[in-house]
Amino acid sequence: MIEEPRLTAERIAASLAIDAGNNASVEADIDCFVDEAHRHHQSDLDALLTDPGVSSWLKGAYRSLVALQRNPNDPSALTKLDGIREAFNTAAIHVGAPLLAEKERRVGELAAALADRDERMAGLEPALADRDERVAGLEDALTDRDRGLAASKKAIARRDALIARLEKALAERNKFASGLAQQLAAVRANPIRAQYDLFVYRIFMVLLRFRFWMTPRFAEKCTNSANKRNPLRSIGG
């Protein structure tokens, strides 16, 4: 094929009853596909026939194939190949039994290996079931932990809200205490005026108890006047 690619291709086409034609495109395809540079190894017929590692059957078959390459209808080459096939079939009868025994041995080894694997897998099933049970327990524990965390977050939110309310109340109390301190300082600075205002406040409070005969506007005016005269009362609301 490498030495005479076109001629060999024509012989192959003729043997297979393929009409390849004689156009230039087919020849160009053959020249493009077959290249002498593609040959990596080369050995002549004498080297093959003298090689002790090659069996006589292969040597005879190769001679016949070379002859058929020159003449596809060479009767001697065809007869030689038929003889090699009959000799191989005869030898296969004697060689087949050991090969079959070897095959059965290997099949037995594979079957034993599969049985051992199945046994080990069966031994792993309890461990896998235990692992799955532990995983399920861990999942339940994680679920409980998440629920606990959610409850803790809600409790923390409620605590923060309570702290905010307490801080607001503390700020109001401090504000009230600051105002009370200022009013007490004013009372201490002028105790006579404070006693007078307290006396007036008590009189107004007595009158307010009977305010059913007062008009709403007059009652409101009396209340505001009393609060102005009694600074301690105005602080307490």
Identify the residue whose tokens are 């694997």.
117
Which residue, 93, 103, 8, 92, is CA-closest to 57?
Answer: 92
Two tokens, residue 184? 């007490």
Give pLDDT, residue 232. 47
229 contacts 200 by C-beta, under 8 angstroms: yes
Amino acid at 111: A
CA nearest 5: which of 29, 30, 40?
A: 30
Sequence length of the chain is 237
Q: How far apart are the first and last CA of the chain?
A: 121
Best CA proximity match to 81, nearest among 95, 98, 64, 102: 64
pLDDT digits (tens, 9 = 90+) for 169-223: 899 888 888 887 787 777 677 777 667 667 776 776 666 666 544 555 555 665 5
Q: In the predicted model, what is the mean pLDDT of residues 51-55? A: 82
pLDDT for residue 115: 92
Q: What is the pLDDT of residue 141?
A: 92
Amino acid 223: pLDDT: 57
| pLDDT single digits (tens) 95-140 | 777 777 888 889 999 999 999 998 888 888 888 888 889 999 999 9
* Residue 161 confidence (pLDDT) above 90: yes
Cβ atoms within 10 Å, residue 43:
8
Note every long-range contact of 183-189, with CB atoms under 8 Å and residues 24 or more positions apart, other chains counting: 183/231, 183/232, 183/235, 186/231, 187/231, 187/232
Out of 9-18, 21-30, 210-219, which region has the weakest mean confidence (pLDDT)? 210-219
Residues 148-160 pLDDT 10s:
999 999 999 999 9
Amino acid at 161: A
Count CB neighbours of 229 within 10 A: 19
Helix, coil or strand: residue 213:
helix
Three-class SS of residue 108?
helix
The SS3 of residue 136 is helix
pTM for the model stands at 0.32
Question: What residue segments make up the domains of the chain, in order of their start?
Answer: 1-39, 190-237
Per-residue pLDDT at 114: 92
pLDDT per residue as tens digits for the range 72-82 = 888 898 899 99
The secondary structure of 183-210, three-state, reads HHHHHHHCHHHHHHHHHHHHHHHHHHHC
Least confident of 9-13, 66-70, 212-216: 212-216
Is 204 within 8 Å of 159 (Cβ atoms)? no
